[in-house]
Structure 1
Amino acid sequence: MNSHRYPGTGPALTIHAGKKALEHMRQHGLQARDVAIIPAAAGGPKGLILQSLDQWLFGTWLAAAPRERTLIGSSIGAWRMAAASQADPAAAFQRLGDLYCEQRYPEKPTAKFVTDSCLQLLEELIGGHEHEIVNHPHYRLHLLAVRGLGLLKSPRGSFSAKAGFAAATLANMASRARLAGHMERVVIGDMRDPLFWLKARFDNFETHFAALTRDNLKQALLASGTLPLIMEPVRDIVHAPVGTYWDGGIIDYHLALPYSRIAGAADGGLVLYPHFTDHIIPGWLDKPIPWRRASLGRNREWLDNVVMLSPSRAFLHTLSLGKLPDRKDFFYYGANHDFRIQNWRIAIYESERLRDEFAAFVENPDLSRVKPL
């Protein structure tokens, strides 16, 4: 690998670690065999910046140390982990990046148009690979979705859905616990995985667990990425509780989950979290509430065994518009799809710098680079 750095810029990659993860690295370095869980956040196009890192992690580094691992994601994170679970993950991540970049929407697309476009994307991403994904010899895939309650249980149209999400937003402003009165977490995943660390109650949300199979894989992936009011809700996922489903990121945006329950396990007990930012926001509705960040809350110990990788600010400054690709780009570039696609592809190319720096770190860990999480 040939790392490329812009002259005068600092490192592209930022590494954060919880106190137990840092102590582990002091004693053992960072070994692929110690990684038990890989979370993947919601965030739409932001996830594209992890493509090169994902390809190397799943195609080379983790593959060289096979063991049972939990892969868990919501929205684009769920789609990334479905790519990781294919027999050729590097090719699958390339396909995901190409398909995601090439999305083209009219100025005011209908919810059906966006839903149909995402269904087509998923068909091209996983079509013919369903068996590989749900029966992977080492990876145990779990997809997060949200099931509506109250006004969101079975909205008859966009007006009732808007009313339901308005009520949910107000409830969340008061407290995250109150949001649990409007929606539930559903984990659609690999039943071979005991998932004990997630099944014991840890927050106010009722959590249901359903089997992930070839029959419901595409439906579950669509539900996990179904944007409220922009896409049609997914109804009655096969093998899952009857109901109306939306984007898993509404509850689990950056996956603030009780990872520390596996800390100190005999097989390593580390969580490796490739992320597109340097902080963890619990739910999508928490984005405008800075004090809800997981690292500042009462559950900060959940991250004790987490190693989080993210782009540095110096890296972001080298990208087009000085930021990651995001959904606002669809409006910023408007009908100039080719220019948006070009800039997104440049960002993906630049993500090779994240890959190269992490590969160098695991080869020769420099713990002075690691910041507390």
Structure 2
Amino acid sequence: MASPITIRLGRRARARIALDGLQASDVAIVPAAAGGPKGLILNGLDLWLFGSFLKGAPRPRKLVGASIGAWRMAAAAFADPVAGHNRLAHLYAHQRYPAKVTAAYISQNIRSLLDELLDGRGAEVIAHPHHHVNILTVRGTGALGRSNGLRWREMTGFLMAAAGNAVARSRLAASMERVVFHHAQDNVQWLRQPFDAFAAHFVNLAADNLRDAMQASGAIPLVLEAVSGIAGAPPGPHWDGGLIDYHLHLPYQRDPDLVLYPHFSDYIVPGWLDKSMPWRRANDAAMDNLILVSPSADFIASLPNGKLPDRKDFTAYGQHHDTRIGHWLHAIGESERMAEAFARWCDKPDLNATLSF
């Protein structure tokens, strides 16, 4: 039977695993991509990683995410991460929207979802003794920073950003800045030294900004409203962190230990606007210590409609909410097979069954 997962290893990760196997204590960073409903397919891996594998080897770990990835990493930092991840999967899958919907309506719905996810337990995320959560947002600048909630201005700013990015990813820096909301006990030194064209701001996660940072991290322009006035953050509208860091192409090689990356794709795209540009897929030194675990093509083909859950499903299924929810819940249940396969591989790594960057 074909494996439900694909494992891709960086050079340093491969050498270390060949020598010592894969030890949970070696894992220093866990990234979590933006991607909306696609992140649901990682629920099984999240439950196993944070409920068993990594839990058995506590150490300071950087959990860094954007959009649904930020929500997943927040769930991982609850005192009971299994309950947190199950709650997130249930809340996300059961979203329902009317046929005609506004950005304000969706934004309020997401705010309510995050309130239910946090369940009054935000202090657990902020002060987790080992899991240092990092939430990525984008601060709009230029035209994208002057939208003031007006849709035509948002569209103008976003189109200008997209046009610049089409020429060169570095041009996107004229419209956006990276903002990192981080655990107060972790100064995220590995991200402070510049590694790309984007200006960066660093803000301590606290009780008065956690939910706003999580909401902003998933605020897709023209779909949701930007979040402004976030406590401790630079002023202006904050948007979806995936605009700059869609698959989190970050300088992982700066850490001496390993990066374990459960991902819905077997490659890394730097920014959301780079999705249609295969020549921009990451394959550089940042992959050196990376372990990328993703659903295999055979596994995806076995899912409803032969694909991962996707944001377009909200439109494709229309008002047939129960059908969509049923298909998404089926995919979430199937994700347990990915976790079982990866657990077996971790117990006895077969390097011949992996790919390289």
Q: Does 1:189 align with 2:169?
A: no
The structural deviation recorded for 1:213 is: 0.5
Quick one: which amino acid aligns to residue 33 of structure 1? S
The CA distance in 2 between the partners of 1:367 and 1:323, in whole Å, is: 27
The structural deviation recorded for 1:290 is: 1.2
Match of 2:34 among 20, 30, 42: 42
Give the structure 2 partner of residue 6 of structure 1.
Answer: none
Q: Does 1:128 align with 2:116?
A: no
Give the structure 1 partner of residue 235 of structure 2.
Answer: 242
Quick one: which amino acid aligns to residue 168 of structure 2? S
Match of 1:347 among 307, 318, 331: 331
Q: Does 1:149 align with 2:141?
A: yes
The CA distance in 2 between the partners of 1:154 and 1:194, in whole Å, is: 30
* 2:104 aligned counterpart, secondary structure: helix
Give the structure 2 partner of residue 5 of structure 1.
Answer: none
The structural deviation recorded for 1:127 is: 2.4
Give the structure 1 partner of residue 4 of structure 2.
Answer: 12
The CA distance in 2 between the partners of 1:107 and 1:204, in whole Å, is: 40
The CA distance in 2 between the partners of 1:223 and 1:127, in whole Å, is: 18
The structural deviation recorded for 1:260 is: 0.4
The CA distance in 1 between the partners of 2:272 and 2:249, in whole Å, is: 12
Deviation string 1:107-156 (CA, Å, 9 cap, x unpaired) is: 22101110000000000000211111000010101000000111111313
The structural deviation recorded for 1:243 is: 1.1
Q: CA RMSD in A?
A: 0.7
Quick one: which amino acid aligns to residue 274 of structure 2? D
Correspondence 1:301-316 to 2 at 5 A:
301-316=285-300
Percent identity at matched positions? 51
Q: Does 1:287 align with 2:271?
A: no
The CA distance in 1 between the partners of 2:324 and 2:241, in whole Å, is: 26
Q: Does 1:67 align with 2:63?
A: no
The structural deviation recorded for 1:63 is: 0.5
* 1:294 aligned counterpart, secondary structure: coil
The CA distance in 1 between the partners of 2:146 and 2:94, in whole Å, is: 33
The CA distance in 2 between the partners of 1:367 and 1:201, in whole Å, is: 34
Q: TM-score, normalised by structure 2?
A: 0.99
Give the structure 2 partner of residue 82 of structure 1.
Answer: 74
The structural deviation recorded for 1:303 is: 0.7
Give the structure 1 partner of residue 245 of structure 2.
Answer: 252
The structural deviation recorded for 1:193 is: 1.0
Give the structure 1 partner of residue 343 of structure 2.
Answer: 359
Correspondence 1:171-210 to 2 at 5 A:
171-210=164-203
The structural deviation recorded for 1:289 is: 1.1
* 1:210 aligned counterpart, secondary structure: strand
* 1:16 aligned counterpart, secondary structure: strand
Match of 1:218 among 211, 222, 227: 211
Match of 1:31 among 23, 26, 32: 23
Deviation string 1:260-304 (CA, Å, 9 cap, x unpaired) is: 011xx3xxx100000001010000000111111112xxxx11110
* 2:270 aligned counterpart, secondary structure: coil
Quick one: which amino acid aligns to residue 358 of structure 1? F
Quick one: which amino acid aligns to residue 67 of structure 1? R
The CA distance in 2 between the partners of 1:67 and 1:316, in whole Å, is: 33
Deviation string 1:196-235 (CA, Å, 9 cap, x unpaired) is: 2111000000011011011110000000001111111101
Unaligned runs of 5+ in 2: none
Moved over 4 A (4+): none
Contact 2:6/2:293, CA 8 A, preserved across alignment: yes
The CA distance in 2 between the partners of 1:195 and 1:123, in whole Å, is: 27
Quick one: which amino acid aligns to residue 85 of structure 2? F
Q: Size of the alignment, in residue pairs?
A: 356
Q: Does 1:323 align with 2:299?
A: no
Unaligned runs of 5+ in 1: 1-8
The structural deviation recorded for 1:340 is: 0.2
The structural deviation recorded for 1:365 is: 1.1
The CA distance in 2 between the partners of 1:364 and 1:177, in whole Å, is: 42
* 2:135 aligned counterpart, secondary structure: strand
Give the structure 2 partner of residue 3 of structure 1.
Answer: none
* 2:174 aligned counterpart, secondary structure: coil
* 1:194 aligned counterpart, secondary structure: coil
The structural deviation recorded for 1:24 is: 0.4
Contact 2:182/2:188, CA 8 A, preserved across alignment: no
